[in-house]
């Protein structure tokens, strides 16, 4: 049965072999900015295009065009070389896309996310079940504070319940496992 592809890239990392147009666009948007998307679209399938030609084609000012190109260059998503214009006597930069680096950016983001998750797991495990919460949800206290109030809600006086975070810990562990599997793809 033919299955329709749905964008399920929200939480899961994208294997490098599946870098689609939308993955490229989302990565560029989040690292460089949404405004460079038309530029990327324009440079795709082209090589060594001068900044003046880019500006003219996109109907943007040359300075703004350069600004976008430099931002892309910071993330290694474009390459350029300079050539002296014989008539005018000044140097002109010619630009090409380097979208291969999207893969590296994704890899870095993936590693960072994974590290964040592991850090969170350590924290959750360190504070395992040491929070106390009012059943009416008006307060949430750590162990020391809960002792101060005799394990009663400081707002309404109801006995506090120990808050369990085992489920949270389990969820984080599953996510870490998934992400580590995905890392092997990259």
Residues that bind Zn ion in the complex, under the rule CB under 5 A: 134, 136, 138, 153, 155-156
Q: How far is the CB of 137 from Zn ion (least distance, A)?
A: 7
In the bound complex, what is the minimum distance in angstroms from residue 163's beta carbon to Zn ion? 13
Considering beta carbons, is residue 156 or 174 the nearer one to Zn ion?
Answer: 156
Q: Long-range contacts of range 110-113, CB-CB < 8 Å, 24 or more positions apart?
A: 110/13, 110/179, 110/182, 110/183, 110/186, 111/183, 113/13, 113/179
Q: Residue 106 or 153: which CB sits closer to Zn ion?
A: 153
**Which CB, 155 or 170, lies closer to Zn ion?**
155
Q: Least Å distance between CB 143 and Zn ion?
A: 17
- By beta-carbon proximity to Zn ion, the closer residue of 72 and 134 is 134
Lookup: tokens for 109? 């983001």
Reported in sequence order, the residue ranges of the chain that DSSP labels E, i.e. its strands, are 49-50, 78-84, 91-97, 131-133, 140-142, 161-163
| Residue 23, SS3 per DSSP | helix
Shortest Å, Cβ 152 to Zn ion: 8
State which residue, 45 or 150, has the beta carbon closest to Zn ion.
Answer: 150
Per-residue CA distances from 167 to 12, 16, 125, 163, 170 (Å): 20, 31, 11, 11, 5
**At closest approach, how far in Å is the CB of 146 from Zn ion?**
12
């Amino acid at each position: 049965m033919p299955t329709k592809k749905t964008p399920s890239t929200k939480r899961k990392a994208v294997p490098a072999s599946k870098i689609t147009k939308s993955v490229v666009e989302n990565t560029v948007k989040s690292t460089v900015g949404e405004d460079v998307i038309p530029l990327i679209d324009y440079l795709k399938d082209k090589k060594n295009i001068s900044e003046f030609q880019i500006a003219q084609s996109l109907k943007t000012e040359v300075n703004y065009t350069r600004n976008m190109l430099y931002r892309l260059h910071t993330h290694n998503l474009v390459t350029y070389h300079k050539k002296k214009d014989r008539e005018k006597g000044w140097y002109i930069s010619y630009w090409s896309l380097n979208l291969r680096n999207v893969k590296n950016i994704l890899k870095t983001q993936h590693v960072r996310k994974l590290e964040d998750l592991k850090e969170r797991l350590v924290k959750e495990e360190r504070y395992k079940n040491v929070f106390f919460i009012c059943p009416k949800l008006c307060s949430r206290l750590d162990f020391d504070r809960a002792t101060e109030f005799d394990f009663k809600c400081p707002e309404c006086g109801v006995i506090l319940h120990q808050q369990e975070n085992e489920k949270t810990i389990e969820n984080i562990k599953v996510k870490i496992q998934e992400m580590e599997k995905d890392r092997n793809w990259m």
